[in-house]
Structures are given as C-alpha cells and as structure tokens.
A and B are shown apart, each in its own frame.
Chain A
C-alpha cells in the first residue's frame, strides 16, 4: 500500500537558518503530494501541494518539488523564523480520491 516516510525530529535550528525536511513516498500510481503544518494545540493547515512530477509547491517562503525519479518531496525554507516552530506532515493522495496517507510528522524548533 501507499506510505510516506519523513525524517525524524525534533529538528532544532537557529533563526535565519536554512531548513530541509526530507520526505519520500511509496505509491502504486501517480499521487498528489502535500505538506501540512500543525501549530501547538491546533489542527492541521495545508502548507503547499504538488499534483504532478516536477511541480513546485510554495507558500510562506516554504517550497517543495515533486521528484518522481527519487519519489521525494522535500520541504525547504531559506530562512526560518521562531514562528515557524511547529510539526510538519508530508502526505499523499492517490487515485483521484480524497483519502490522505500521512507521514509521522517532523517537529521543528526554531530558537533565537
């Protein structure tokens, strides 16, 4: 079945550092890929998405490129802020439906 693997956290960075959170997936077809963010005590918010190979999703300074050849969708940001501290989830959806398969989440802590 489908699965998503994320790097384990927590990831601790200083403000203005470069961020990469790795995400790889296994799917039988051509999934859509997503990054969701969860701030403490809240639900999830969609951060960005990509629906086909080589698409780049971007939002709030975050970017991720759909790499079919490496089955990856790594999240990057050039300069993190303390307000970016949250848990980030990589997810996929396949088959034209709405069901999402999530990774285990990666906690990001940004310090001054």
Chain B
C-alpha cells in the first residue's frame, strides 16, 4: 500500500540533544512538508520541499533543519537551538503541477518529548 511512514511514533530526548525524525513516502510525490502541532494552535509549517535537493523555510523554521537527498525521504532534525521542541510533528506529501491545489497526504505523526 502506498502511503507515508513516520518513525518513531514516540520519541524522548534530553534537553540539548539534536534529534532526527524520519519521514518516508512511496506515493511518488514531488513535494514534502513538515508541520508542528501544539494544543490549541493548529498546524504550523516548518519546512517544505517541492523537488529533490531543494527546500524552503516555512513559518517557524528556527531551530530546525531538513535535507532532501532522495524523492522518498525528507528527514527533520530538531536542534538544540529550538527553544520549545516538545510537540507532535506531522509530515505530509503532495503532487505538484498546474492544478490550483494538490491534496496533501499526512503521515501518522511523531510525538517528541524533550525532558
């Protein structure tokens, strides 16, 4: 079955440590996205990539980094510079093209807790 996988589902880290969240898709989508979800604040865009080896900052990129070396993979690193990293992180992907919108498909999410 095609879809998006995120691992692990739950992640615990000590303060000051960098941590990398995995996101893999087999939908052959060009575009991938990382969102952060906090209670009462909806989803906020961290980074997005519309093609391999290229990515752009979203609304809250500070303290995060990404890479897009393969079409299928878009890992997110939460660095020690992120002041409040505890949150639920969602990865998504979509086609790109001339239509006005291409549906975003979401993974199951990773809940990161920094102790």
Contacts and interface: CB of A to CB of B under 8 A. Distances in A.
Interface of A: 32, 41-46, 49, 51, 89, 93, 96, 98-100, 102-105
B101 A104 contact: no
Contacts of A49: 101, 103
B85 to A, nearest CB: 19
Contact of B101 (A45, A51, A89, A103): A51
Contact of B41 (A42, A96, A104): A104
B94 interface: yes
Given A44-B106, A93-B101, A99-B48, 8 more contacts: A41-B108, A43-B92, A43-B106, A44-B90, A44-B92, A89-B43, A100-B45, A105-B40
B103 A46 contact: yes
A99 B102 CA distance: 10
B68 to A, nearest CB: 15
A98 B107 contact: no
Contact of A32 (B6, B33, B101, B107): B101
Contacts of A42: 108-109
A100 B92 CA distance: 11
Contacts, number: 56
A89 B100 CA distance: 20
B45 A99 contact: yes
B100 A96 contact: yes
A104 B107 contact: no
A26 to B, nearest CB: 15
A102 B35 CA distance: 11
Contacts of A46: 103-105
A51 B102 CA distance: 11
27 contacts: A32-B100, A41-B109, A42-B108, A43-B4, A43-B6, A43-B106, A43-B108, A44-B43, A44-B106, A46-B103, A46-B104, A46-B105, A49-B101, A49-B103, A89-B42, A89-B43, A96-B100, A98-B50, A98-B94, A98-B96, A98-B102, A99-B45, A100-B104, A102-B43, A103-B42, A104-B42, A105-B42
